[in-house]
Structure 1
Amino acid sequence: MSTLEEQIDIDAPLDRTWDTLHRVESYPAFVNGVREARPEGENKAHLDLTAGGRARELDVETSDRGKEMVWHTTSGPDLAGTVSLLPIDRDHTRVQARFEYQPETIKEEFGGPSGFAQAAAIERGVRSDLQQFKELVERERKQ
């Protein structure tokens, strides 16, 4: 199992950031490749995505531990992770993302590079998702 950890600081209070993270319908706005996301019952979501040039569907289950969202796929490739929110001060939040995956599974399911190039591509993807999440939360805060 490989693990990637990234973090970003957001110019928004923790509660607003938490609310945006839990709004499943907003995932296409910040998760690369997700075309549509919809809640399916308590703590479950269905994601339609494009990855490696192919359409895919994933079901995801989440649970909360304080201000940490733990997630894992329940269909499709075996993927898991956590998103933790930490207050920096009353108006700023640190988002820490942890992504766990099997490199062979990523290659088989989504294509793309392997080895070091794969790890670099996943790292860029997670960083991009976090940056887009930051922009979404901060844009909504100004509205």
Structure 2
Amino acid sequence: MSTLEEHVDVGVPIDTAWNSLHRVENYPSFVGGVRDVRTEEGGRAHLDIEAGGRAKGFDAEVSDRGRERVMEWHTTGGPDLAGSFSLHPIDRDHTRVQIRLEYDPATVREAFGGPKGFAQANAIERLVRSDLEQFKEYVERER
């Protein structure tokens, strides 16, 4: 498994950022390739995505530790992906949003296509960085 960690500082209070992360139906507004998200019973969500010219759907289980401001997720039924968002207050009006993504490079390539090896790691890092910047714009605009 490979692990990627990135963060972005947003100009909103921690509760605002936390609430925005929990509105998964809005993920298409800031997560590249996500076309639709539907929440389901029991902390589950279904995501329809397009990546590498391929349309795919997958299910994820989401759980959170509200007091710690950590939301964890993992796919069910493939591709095998897991991650977490953790929020840390910087001050009253600013929050650090950190993402941790765990993935198997071979599985990602098989499911979504794209480059191999180092080029793939760079592509995933750019995508995650872009999604974080889009989240920053989204949450600050929605404030």
Structure 2: tracts of 5 or more residues without a match: none
- Counting only pairs closer than 5 Å after superposition, residues 61-72 of structure 1 correspond to structure 2 as 61-65=61-65, 66-72=68-74
CA distance in structure 2 between the aligned counterparts of 1:92 and 1:62, rounded to whole angstroms: 25
**TM-score scaled by structure 2?**
0.97
Offset at residue 42 of structure 1 (A)? 3.1
User: Once the two structures are superposed, what CA deviation does each residue of 1:26-62 show, in whole Å capped at 9, x if it has no partner?
Assistant: 0100110000011011311100010110110010111
The answer to whether 1:46 aligns with 2:54 is no
Structure 2 matches for 1:84-95, cutoff 5 A?
A: 84-95=86-97
**Cα root mean square deviation, aligned:** 0.7
Deviates more, 1:56-65 or 1:113-122: 56-65
Tell whether 2:110 aligns with 1:114.
no
Within 5 Å, which residues of 2 pair with 1:13-32? 13-32=13-32
Equivalence for 2:135: 133
CA apart distance, 1:14? 0.3
Q: In the aligned structure 2, how far is the partner of 1:133 from the partner of 1:126?
A: 10
Q: Deviations over 1:60-105 (max 9, x none)?
A: 1111122000100012200000100000011000000000000100
TM-score scaled by structure 1?
A: 0.97
- C-alpha distance in 2, partners of 1:76/1:51? 15
Contiguous gaps of at least 5 residues in structure 1 = none
Q: Which amino acid aligns with 1:121?
A: A
Identity of aligned residues (%): 67
Number of equivalences: 141
In the TM superposition, residue 24 of structure 1 has moved relative to its aligned partner by: 1.0
The code of the aligned residue for 2:127 comes to G
Cα distance in 1 for partners of 2:18, 2:43 equals 14
